[in-house]
Amino acid sequence: MGQRIAYGTAAILAILSLFLADVQLGKEATVPMGPVLDADLSWRTTFIGHLLRQGSMIPLMFILAGFAGARELSNFLRQKGAQPFHRFAWIMVCVTMAVPWLSAAGWLGSGVAEAEGLMWSLVSVMVTVIGTGVLMVLRRDTDEALRDVGATWLIVLYVGFLPSFGLHLRCSQDVPGVEGAWLLLITVLVCKSSDIGAYFMGSAIGRHKLIPEVSPGKSVEGMVGGFIGSVVVAMGFVMAYRWASLRVDDVGTIGGIVSLIQDMTESFAAPSANGGPTPMVRAALFGLAMSASGQFGDLIESCFKRDAQIKDSAKIIPKFGGILDLVDSPVFSVPVAWLLLTVVWKVV
């Protein structure tokens, strides 16, 4: 358990560092207001400047993780005898991940529709569906065509399309400044808090198996611990915002920490402009939604692994396994978070 905690802590610190770097680069790329020297604006007004404003480290992390996850899922499928068009699927996963970033930066067009990442995401799915069909015909082998076409679609939709909503949250032009990075970070932390809560409560008092046919190690008590973990952390962000709001006059190192906490939690914890639940109720509902979707995501990956008769998706990270073992819960959680935060509650 100690080694697992150590690796988990290191992973969280690495994620925090990536998010902080992404935010800092986004702020540096923001065009300053008021009179400035032309030299100060030069790189900020280029395509690179537009791109960095919409994200940097976070999109790259998603693309790399998506590519690695696609390779792992391809191995699952091949072990079951499927022959997906894996290279095509890997390319489309990377394209689907990159679309929200590139479209928000204006690289795919300057019009409103062209800059809307969702439109281009649907285009990437369309290309995936049609492209797979074309490749199936060119293969000239109809044996197990349904299996192989479905396997290719699964790779792109599961590892590319679903998690790409995390980048819609981070990169979208509808989310001002770097607010999307903070909302995505909160989403990931609340989701992984469910994994942590489920692990510790399940290890301590887990007695009743949840769905042993799918995941023998998971218990009902662990599931409850997951809900508690996510709700407590989500509500903790609201409390942190309220605390920081009372300490805005602090200076020095403490003042810098207070400012960072306030920036990080403001969009998530501030009262909604269009009514709706109070921030604390909203946080509790968000925690429940992240835990429920995350735990289903975990169980889905368990189904894949049991069918492939393997314990871990890969051996990349000791005590954790592969990329899919790390992102199984966020794969299902980030689309739900995007829907709740930007469509239902409109927190930004």
The per-residue DSSP string of 310-335 comes to: -SSS-SSBTTTBSHHHHHHHHHHHHH
- Is the separation of the CB atoms in 228 and 199 below 8 Å? no
Q: 57-79 and 145-155 are packed helices; what angle lies between their axes, rounded to 10 degrees? A: 160
Three-state SS annotation for 127-192: HHHHHHHHHHHHHCCCCCHHHHHHHHHHHHHHHHHCCHHHHHHHHCCCCCCCHHHHHHHHHHHHHH
Rounded CA separation 250/116 (Å) = 40
> How many angstroms separate the CA atoms of 170 and 173, rounded?
9
Handedness of CA 24, 29, 34, 35 (dihedral sign): positive
pLDDT at 49: 86
| pLDDT at site 282 | 96
* pLDDT tens digits along 291-329: 999 999 999 999 999 888 888 888 777 667 889 999 999
Counting Cα atoms < 13 Å in the Cβ hemisphere of 233 gives: 24
What distance in Å separates the CA atoms of residue 311 and residue 120, rounded to the nearest whole number? 36
Query: What are 78-127's pLDDT values in tens digits?
Result: 989 999 999 999 999 999 999 999 999 989 987 777 777 889 999 999 99
Alpha helices, H only, the chain: 2-29, 38-41, 47-53, 57-79, 86-104, 112-115, 117-139, 145-155, 164-171, 179-205, 220-245, 252-269, 279-308, 323-338
At residue 312, the pLDDT reads: 82
Nearest to 317 by CA among 4, 25, 28: 4
Rounded to whole angstroms, the Cα distance separating 98 from 112 reads 18
> Maximum distance among all alpha carbons in the chain?
71
CA angle 208, 213, 215 (to 5 degrees): 70
**Where exactly are the structural domains of the chain?**
178-348
Give the pLDDT confidence score for residue 283 in this predicted structure.
97
pLDDT of residue 65: 96
CB atoms within 10 A of CB 82: 18
Decide: 333 and 297 in contact? Cβ < 8 Å.
Answer: yes
**The dihedral of CA 13, 16, 22, 26: what is its sign?**
negative
Identify the DSSP state of 43.
G
Place of tokens 């925690």: 287
Structure confidence at residue 47 (pLDDT): 80
- Residue 344 CA to residue 219 CA, distance in Å, equals 32
Ramachandran angles phi, psi of 219, nearest 5°: -125, 165
The angle, 0 to 180 degrees and rounded to 10, between the axes of the packed helices 57-79 and 164-171 is 170
> Rounded CA gap, 73 and 155, in Å?
7
Distances (CA, A) of 72 to 86, 117, 223, 305, 321: 11, 27, 26, 11, 11
Residue 36 Rama label (left phi>0; alpha psi -120 to 50; beta): beta
| Average pLDDT per block of 10 residues along the chain, 348 residues long | 74 91 91 54 75 94 97 93 96 97 90 80 97 96 95 98 97 89 97 95 94 92 97 98 89 87 93 81 98 96 89 77 91 97 90
pLDDT at residue number 239: 97
Residue count (the chain): 348
